[in-house]
Structure 1
Amino acid sequence: MTATFAADARTPADLLRSALDGDPARPLVTFYDDGTGERVELSVKTFDNWVAKTSNLLQDELGAGPGDTAALLLPAHWQTAVWLLACWSVGVTAAPGGDPAAADLVVSGPDGLEAAQACSGERVALALRPLGGRFPQRPAGFLDYATEVPAQADRFAPYSPVDPDAPALSIGAGGPELRLTGEEAVQQARAGATRLGVGPGDRVLSTLPYDSWEGLEAGLLAPLAAGGSVVLCRNSGALTAEQWEKRISSERVTVQLG
């Protein structure tokens, strides 16, 4: 079943466009932060709008393009998923957990701001607050994503077409590094969907971080490649078995990973 969804897609951004052409109103990313009580649900259309705005910020305001690398010092979060797809829409190589000193720009949550200062390029900070809120005070030397992104255009077109054979993902900076082109990422995501049993309409719950292929596969790429959706759960270690069962039932989860 997975092979029939977006069969002609060659980049992760193509997968998102296929989802948008299918049923734009269906949920795509549902996010829980059990440390704050936050729950956010983004439809395909809403998620695509965030990706478009972030892509315009990345291309026009930050001057990023094909050949550049963005170190993403971010947890598994709905805004991280947006940034990944924005990178792939522009043609920028996404490096979750990557070395800021080796990157052309860095995007960091609150916990990575000190490490992010090693980047000599543009620096963007995400407060990761409920409802996408901004920092009470912008970190020195960083743009505040929540302040910058609302003014960006709702539609995006790259200055040059994204090459499916160009580098798209670099992951595993602390160990064996995995580097994939856009087309390779799509192929591996499809293979992962088949291996994990994810098909169209499936709801995949993941607690895995985004700084490994396993986390990206489970928490974003395999569901996207299969025509499914994802339920991301952060800071959920203290949930009881009863609370998990209630969430799985209320979110209509069909595949649980991590």
Structure 2
Amino acid sequence: MTTPASHLMTSLRSGNATAPRLTWYGPDSERVELSGRVLDNWVAKTSNLLQDELDAAPGMRLKLDLPAHWKSMVWALAAWQVGLETVLDGADADFLVTAATDPVEGRYDAVIAVALPALAMRWPGTLPAGWVDYAAEVRSHGDVFMAHAEPDPAACAIRAGGGGVHSQAGLLEGFALPHEDGARIHLAAGDGLEGALAGALGAWQRDGSVVLTAPEVELTDHLLATERIHGN
């Protein structure tokens, strides 16, 4: 049995797969636009890195120590596609995905460093011994994901703020925020990763798209008009 996350990735890479699905405005005038096909490609490569290189399996836990960003959305989608539980707080986890090289508390099967600039081909500097450089490793993995084991639909996908627990099967119905069909919505990264993920999932499952802006980016009338942001 496939999970809603897997069905979502199938829908993003089929149909109108060249339409924008995730647009990111970051610092220093950075703009990244991912079509459904390109987003699925990033998620597939990341899923394959998890499964084939890091031996991730359904039911394991992945801590996302990242800000709201297009790469953190890729990681969350990949984790759900593999069948992992995404951890956004200080709870224990099997894997840590981080954009910092601060000393790590706790034990992890693997620590993955994510360089956030879009054009980064590797981590800018020296990583602690044993850490995985996401930018340097992800491109070598396959563009198509084939799961070694099917996720358990009843297993936890994410523990949301306030204690809400959402299963793999209920991710799109319980955690995702409702949006109009085909809406192109704006999400502010400064509002946090959990809200960005819930908003994006709700838009994508209704054939919509997302514009995510970093806290440094001013949401001007020109940007709203250029990106054709509408809906709620």
* Alpha-carbon distance, 1:216 to partner: 2.0
Q: 1:255 to 1:133 in 2, by over 3 A?
A: farther
Letter in 2 for 1:184: G
Q: Is the 8 A contact 2:58 2:150 kept in 1?
A: no
* Alpha-carbon distance, 1:211 to partner: 3.7
* Alpha-carbon distance, 1:13 to partner: 2.5
- Correspondence list, 1:1-258, <5 A: 10-33=3-26, 35-96=27-88, 98-99=89-90, 102-110=92-100, 113-114=101-102, 116-141=104-129, 142-172=131-161, 176-189=162-175, 192-193=177-178, 198-208=179-189, 209-212=191-194, 214-218=195-199, 220-236=200-216, 239=218, 244-255=220-231
Give 5+ residue unaligned stretches, structure 2.
Answer: none
Q: 1:210 to 1:15 in 2, by over 3 A?
A: farther
Q: Once structures 1 and 2 are overlaid, which stretch shifts more, 140-149 or 43-52?
A: 140-149
> Hey, what's the Cα distance between the residues in 1 that align with 2:59 and 2:150?
13
TM-score with structure 2 setting the length? 0.90
Deviations 1:185-230 (A, max 9, x none): 111256x21xxxx223211100044443x33222x21111211000
Letter in 2 for 1:104: D
The size of the alignment, in residue pairs, is 230
Give 5+ residue unaligned stretches, structure 1.
Answer: 1-8
Letter in 1 for 2:13: L
In percent, how many aligned pairs have the same letter? 33
Query: RMSD of the alignment, in Å?
Result: 2.1
> Hey, what's the Cα distance between the residues in 2 that align with 1:10 and 1:122?
25
* Alpha-carbon distance, 1:132 to partner: 4.2
Greater helix content? 1
* Alpha-carbon distance, 1:59 to partner: 0.5
TM-score with structure 1 setting the length? 0.82
> Hey, what's the Cα distance between the residues in 1 that align with 2:58 and 2:113?
22
